[in-house]
Amino acid sequence: MQNILYSPERIPAEFVHPLKFMIFNCFWSWALGEITGNVSQVDRVWTFLPVIYTGYFTFYPLLDSAPAYIKAAGVRPRVLLMFTLQVCWMLRLSYNTYRRGLFSLKDEDYRWAVLRQKIPPWLFKVFNLSFIAITQNILLFLLGIPAAAALRQPLSANALGTSDYVLAVAFLITLGLEFVSDNQQFAYQSFKHATDPVEYKKAQPYIEWPGARLAWTEADRKRGFVTRGLWAWCRHPNFLCEQTIWFLVALFPVLSAPAFTFPPTSLTPLGPIVPAIALSLLFVSSTAFTEAITLSKYPVEYAAYQERVGMFLPFVTGLKGAWLAYTGRKDKVEAMVWGRRGKQE
C-alpha cells in the first residue's frame, strides 16, 4: 500500500518526518491536556520545537535518505547559522520559562484558566483541540520553513553573504533586548510579591541582570504592573522582540535568494515570511486577551497605560504622547503611568 503521508509529487522528502512529528505533537498534547485537565502542554515544549524542526533541516543532508542533490551540498552554512541563532533563542526562552515555573507539570498558563471560566466546557474542549493542540503545533512546524527554504537554495547561493552577517547581528541585538525586557518584568514581579503583605510568599530570589536593576518604588508596587525600563516605550517589548526575531529568521533565505530583487517581482521569494506573519497574528490576538485580563484587574491604571504607551511599536508611544500634550492631558496620564518623576528609564 502506498504511504499516504508521502508521495514524491506531493511532499518534498525533507518534510516527511517533520510532518509526522508535528502530527504526533498535535495528538499527544491534546490527549495529555484532556487526561490531566492541564492544557499548557504545548507551552512547555514551545521553547524546543522550532529548534528541533530547524535542526532536522540543518542536518538533513547527512541522512542516508536525503536526495543526492541535497547530500552533495552537505550541511549548508546559512542553515547552520540559522540553527545556531535559534539555539541561542531556545536558551533564553528556556531560562525564562524555567524561572517562571512553567516547566512544572502542575503549572498552567493563567489565561487558559480565565478562558475556561468564560466559555462552556464543550467549547473549551473544541478550543483545546483546534487551537491549543493543532494550530499552535502547526505554527511551530512552520517556524522551521525558513531553514527548509535555505536548504533548497542552489549551490551558487551556498556561501554566507553580507545579508547573513547583518541579520545575525540584528538577531543577537534583538535577542539581547528581549532578555532585558524579560528580566525587567521578572524583577518587577519579584519586587511586587516581596513587598506585598499578602503575596510576599510568592516572592522568588532572582539574579539582577544588567538592564533590570531599576529602583522600584511603592508606587510601582501599587500600580500592579511594570511600566518602566523598556516597558515605558511599548507595553510588550518582549513580544515585539519575539516577533522581530522570527522575521529576521525568515529574511535569511529571502535576502540571499539568487533571484531576489527589491521590490520583489513575485510573491514566491517571500514564502518564508509567511510563518512570521502567522506568529504575529497569534501574538496580536493573544496579547489583546492578556490585556483584557489585566484591564479587568487594574481598570484605571492600565487604561492610562494603554492611552500613553503603544502596544508594540515605540513610535506609537511618541504619537500618543504628542496627542496627549495637544489635548492637555499628558501630565495627568503620565502621573498615573510613571508617577510624578515621569519616564526616566
Q: Are 105 and 53 within 8 A, CB to CB?
A: no
- This model's pTM is above 0.75: yes
pLDDT tens for 197-219 read: 655 555 566 677 778 888 888 88
Q: Are 65 and 13 within 8 A, CB to CB?
A: yes
Whole-angstrom Cα distance, residue 220 to residue 313?
23
Q: Which has more confidence, 259 or 163?
A: 163
pLDDT tens for 243-278 read: 999 999 999 999 987 765 555 545 567 789 999 999
Quote the mean pLDDT of the chain. Answer: 90
The percentage of the chain sitting over the pLDDT mark of 90, rounded to a whole number, equals 73
Q: Which has more confidence, 196 or 265?
A: 196
Of 9-23, 130-144, 189-203, 209-223, which gets the smallest average pLDDT? 189-203
pLDDT tens for 96-134 read: 999 988 888 889 999 999 999 999 999 999 999 999 999
Whole-angstrom Cα distance, residue 192 to residue 217?
9
53 backbone φψ class: left, alpha, beta (φ>0; ψ -120 to 50) = alpha
* Residue extents of the structural domains in the chain: 10-154, 161-297
Q: How far is CA 173 from CA 85, 176, 179, 244, 340, in A?
A: 11, 5, 10, 11, 32
CA dihedral 282, 288, 294, 299 (to 10 degrees): 180
Average of per-residue pLDDT across 41-67: 96
